[in-house]
Amino acid sequence: KHNPEGDAQFLEDESTKIFARKVADHYSARTNQTLEEREASPIIHLKKLNNWIKSVLIQLYARRGDAVLDLACGKGGDLIKWDKAKIGYYVGIDIADGSIEDCRTRYNGDADHHQRRKKFTFPARLICGDCYEVRLDRVLADDAPFDICSCQFAMHYSWSTEARARRALANVSALLRPGGTFIGTMPDANVIIKKLREAEGLAFGNSVYWIRFDEEFSDKKFKSSSPFGIKYKFHLEDAVDCPEWIVPFQVFKSLAEEYDLELVFVKNSHEFVHEYLKKPEHIELMRRLGALGDGNQDQSTLSPDEWEVAYLYLAFVLKKRGQPDRT
Ligand code: SAM
């Protein structure tokens, strides 16, 4: 018997899977760069700035011996940051098999182009999987609970449907211990929507990035439509070229609360830089990462176009409700 609703659901599920695959294939295809290639990147200072933001978040919340869950860990670019925080255990998951392989290589210390170093001090488990589809509490039953969950520059890939967004937050909540911390970075929907409204058509950008919304959003109004599945194409020179989804922060915040995750803070990257760059230890870190020039200003070596891309992102911290079971 013909079942239009069933057909529509089937088509939605299929297109969701196709887009998840597109994202995975895009990241899988990105090969490791040599140090020379990395330094020559048109967005090298933006990459360094983003590494600084992630390092500050880790320094602020990680404690010696912590068990860490890194959702969408990519090639393991944060392994060194976690090592510096002296964590006790690390689980990294990513949908892109190529990235997980690179992550494994980096963890084993075989061919790290960026930093030749010996083994990491913590044991690690690296898994290829879709963090926004799979019930991770089943996969990681023996590894949980975690003290910290981190999802860097990747939460927005869960916002294609409500089911995926819920799975993402349910996974984080189920795996964190009471009082555990969820840290992350993702696009700042307020900034992106503001730029869209100011744009002539459905696209905007500068010399290093562009964003283009689908024709279906040509009225530029999102209030009446669902807060999930608002898709755009994001292109960032030498980094990203794939579909992404708007994450309205208020919706993220209230959905997270449903899963016992309470907001500690949210800050646009610009605000984050201005706030944390006042602290000497963070200035020193920025200098070591090379994102700062000689002058002490945040954007002194970032081009204005890179600084504008930084403005497209925010950092968030959430806390799992309940009393910590250790001191
Ligand atoms: N977190 C890493 C970092 O900060 O360097 C990687 C960030 S990269 C911009 C986004 C990552 O999200 C990619 O490695 C991609 O494969 C991963 N990703 C996207 N969708 C995913 C999903 N459904 N499950 C797991 N990983 C996913």
DSSP calls for 211-273: EEE-GGGTT---SSS-SS--EEEEEETTTEEEEEE---HHHHHHHHHHTTEEEEEEEEHHHHH
Q: Tell me the CA–centroid distance for residue 200 and ligand 1, in Å.
A: 31
Q: What is the DSSP letter of 93?
A: E
Q: Which atom of ligand 1 is nearest to the CA of 26?
A: 16
Phi-psi region of 208 (alpha: psi -120 to 50; beta: other; left: phi over 0): alpha
Q: What is the pLDDT of residue 174?
A: 98
pLDDT in 10s for each residue of the chain, 327 residues: 567 777 777 777 788 889 998 998 889 888 778 888 888 888 999 999 999 999 999 999 999 999 999 999 999 999 999 999 999 999 999 999 999 999 999 999 865 555 555 689 999 999 999 999 999 999 999 999 999 999 999 999 999 999 999 999 999 999 999 999 999 999 999 999 999 999 999 999 999 999 999 888 888 877 778 999 999 999 999 888 999 999 999 999 999 999 999 999 999 999 999 999 888 888 877 777 776 654 444 445 889 999 999 999 999 999 999 987 655
Q: Tell me the CA–centroid distance for residue 185 and ligand 1, in Å.
A: 11
Q: How far is CA 274 from the centre of its chain?
A: 21
The Cα 130–Cα 134 span in angstroms is 6
Q: Tell me the CA–centroid distance for residue 7 and ligand 1, in Å.
A: 30
Q: What is the pLDDT of residue 145?
A: 98
- The reply to whether ligand 1 has any atom less than 6 angstroms from the CB of 94 is yes
The 3-state DSSP class for residue 310 equals helix
Inter-axis angle of helices 162-175 and 249-258, to 10 degrees? 50
Q: Is the bond preceding residue 178 a cis peptide, omega within 30 degrees?
A: no
Q: What is the pLDDT of residue 110?
A: 67
The Cα 86–Cα 67 span in angstroms is 10
Q: What is the pLDDT of residue 138?
A: 96
> What DSSP element (H or E) covers 42?
none
- The reply to whether ligand 1 has any atom less than 6 angstroms from the CB of 244 is no
Residue 275, Cβ neighbours under 10 Å: how many? Answer: 13
Q: What is the pLDDT of residue 129?
A: 96
Q: What is the pLDDT of residue 279?
A: 81
Q: Which atom of ligand 1 is nearest to the CA of 50?
A: 4
**CB distance 168 to 132 below 8 Å:** yes
Q: How far is CA 121 from the centre of its chain?
A: 24
Q: What is the pLDDT of residues 65-122, one digit of tens each?
A: 999 999 999 999 999 999 999 999 999 999 999 999 999 999 998 655 555 556 899 9
- The reply to whether ligand 1 has any atom less than 6 angstroms from the CB of 234 is no
DSSP readout, 173-190?
Answer: HHHEEEEEEEEEEEE-HH
The Cα 309–Cα 303 span in angstroms is 10
Q: Tell me the CA–centroid distance for residue 72 and ligand 1, in Å.
A: 4
ipTM over 0.95: yes
- The reply to whether ligand 1 has any atom less than 6 angstroms from the CB of 53 is no
Q: What is the pLDDT of residue 139?
A: 96
70: phi then psi, degrees, rounded to nearest 5: -105, 100
Q: What is the pLDDT of residue 224?
A: 72
In this structure, which long-range contacts are made by residues 165-170, counting pairs with CB atoms below 8 Å and at least 24 apart in sequence?
Answer: 165/132, 165/228, 165/252, 165/255, 166/255, 166/259, 167/132, 167/133, 167/134, 167/135, 168/71, 168/131, 168/132, 169/255, 169/256, 169/258, 169/259, 169/261, 170/259
The Cα 170–Cα 259 span in angstroms is 6
Written as one letter, the residue type at 214 is: D
Q: What is the pLDDT of residue 115?
A: 53
Q: Which pair of tokens denotes residue 112?
A: 């790290």
- The reply to whether ligand 1 has any atom less than 6 angstroms from the CB of 73 is yes
The Cα 277–Cα 52 span in angstroms is 10
List the beta bridge partners of residue 150.
70, 183
**Closest residue to atom 16 of ligand 1, CA basis:** 96
List the beta bridge partners of residue 241.
235
What is the torsional sign of CA 258, 259, 262, 265? Answer: negative
Q: Tell me the CA–centroid distance for residue 303 and ligand 1, in Å.
A: 26
Q: Tell me the CA–centroid distance for residue 158 and ligand 1, in Å.
A: 10
Q: What is the pLDDT of residue 116?
A: 55
**CB distance 170 to 256 below 8 Å:** no
The Cα 74–Cα 266 span in angstroms is 23
Q: What is the pLDDT of residue 294?
A: 46
Q: What is the pLDDT of residue 29?
A: 85
- The reply to whether ligand 1 has any atom less than 6 angstroms from the CB of 99 is yes
